[in-house]
Structure 1
């Protein structure tokens, strides 16, 4: 999808069957699960990295519990922000991820800001620092494929307040790959083989052909 540029609304194109553009470049592929009892496309998330630092979550941390109606990791084009579950198998994955991100920003001496009182419940915000561009990347290590979120898509900037917030929210029972982390990524759902295919692309030039 195209970047969510401030003040620049762009259409989102949803294509089907033969209208899907021909794949090009290095295509990443990971299986998804779906079915009558599953409302979303569920992905097998194995681990997460912040920059090159792998967080080394225990096996099955993000797996869906068969007896539970929630849990697991899904991709959702209706969810604006990514969510990391606070109740993953064996611990609080959200806290682990946010601690790693906080340590990155704190190492540059950025000053934390009080959390916004309106809008999404962002949990980590910092005041702007002139010339600062060292935003961390985030990699979702899926089964057979790595999904990289660029640093520029890890935060939302509030110009009037002179601060930015990390666009990851705490999940309660499920983890979600949201729209903010789908920017500049061509994503294809191949239901013939139950496979999610994706690759980086400058989607700002997308148009109806």
Structure 2
């Protein structure tokens, strides 16, 4: 059993990181939407350049007596799914991996990692020793993949269940990440009942945790979102994933337009004539409430309905953000990459204790005051 706490930092906009000991403490983005564990390394001119441009201190394998390259015959190299993979003349497994807002190159290796907020546990893991080739990890040195795939922490350690509870970014408080028997929602106080739905298997894409989203409501009004638009297709396209590495939610066009129209009907504020980064719809907040402008705005909850009857009720702060002073923006975007995949991002998961029961293919959640765990 391992209990860790991770901190709120930025990944493009906003992400969560876990401090892990890799010779020295390093912050890794916690990401259920990818499998590779990796940190920036001093192995090439590209990593040295990254270090010179103000990134956090990078890991130097030369300082470690436990570092070792993985040969190309290693299971992690053979089974790892990368954008690009090759075996060098020195029998080293080099790769390139692409994320939603970044890309990284590196080489597979093994090292001893230290986890634990109260009781340190040291574990040997396969990981990527590399560098960013595009994008940025503001304040972090790498990514901790928690997906169901071969390279993730979950798969390497054969973890059967894990949970986390994300504190809001504005609170700047640590968030608990629990593994094994400690990942039990019933052991912790929740503010609403625990609900459960299935983790759905995808016949083609196995790197994500898919959940069966079947509908959306705003308040008590069920929106005109065709269930077929949210369903996983026989070819593995479509469906809905839970992704701690994505800041905002993304919905396929039919669902997004329905949410956008409903939100515009209930929010009695002028629509901003500009958008901000990932936010496609923003409203201008009244100036007279400057200090806590968004707190004065009342909106009904956004409700995500899952197959089997479970419903994730999202209060205002779980689907609106204030990325710029005076702007209240919908933290839901439109899927534009052609995949047809909808995403439940980390904003939607704030103050929501979520449990991934990998062994039994169940996803459970309950609203919770996360800083009280």
**Band the TM-score falls in, shorter-chain normalisation:** 0.7 to 0.9
Find the residue that maps to 1:18 and give its secondary structure.
helix
Q: Distance in 2 between matches of 1:127 and 1:102?
A: 12
Find the residue that maps to 1:179 and give its secondary structure.
coil
Moved over 6 A (4+): none
Unaligned runs of 5+ in 1: 87-91
Question: Structure 2 length as normaliser, TM-score?
Answer: 0.48
- Answer whether contact 1:74 1:176 (CA < 8 A) is retained: yes
Find the residue that maps to 1:97 and give its secondary structure.
helix
Deviation at 1:57, TM superposition (A): 2.6
- Answer whether contact 1:82 1:178 (CA < 8 A) is retained: yes
Tell me which of the two structures has the higher relative contact order, counting C-alpha pairs closer than 8 angstroms and 6 or more residues apart: 1
Q: How many residues are paired up? A: 193
1:89 alignment partner in structure 2: none
1:45 alignment partner in structure 2: 213
Q: 2:335 aligns with which of 140, 156, 171?
A: 171
Report 1:178-189 matches (<5 A): 178-189=345-356
Q: Distance in 2 between matches of 1:49 and 1:35?
A: 26
Q: 2:321 aligns with which of 146, 151, 156?
A: 156
How large is the RMSD of aligned CA atoms in angstroms? Answer: 2.0
- Answer whether contact 1:135 1:152 (CA < 8 A) is retained: no
Find the residue that maps to 1:15 and give its secondary structure.
strand
Question: Structure 1 length as normaliser, TM-score?
Answer: 0.83
Find the residue that maps to 1:23 and give its secondary structure.
helix
**Farther-moved stretch of structure 1 (75-84 vs 150-159):** 150-159
Find the residue that maps to 1:34 and give its secondary structure.
coil
- Answer whether contact 1:141 1:147 (CA < 8 A) is retained: yes
1:124 alignment partner in structure 2: 281
1:114 alignment partner in structure 2: 273
1:63 aligned onto 2:228: no
Higher gyration radius (CA): 2
Q: Distance in 1 between matches of 2:198 and 2:323?
A: 37
Q: Distance in 2 between matches of 1:146 and 1:67?
A: 27
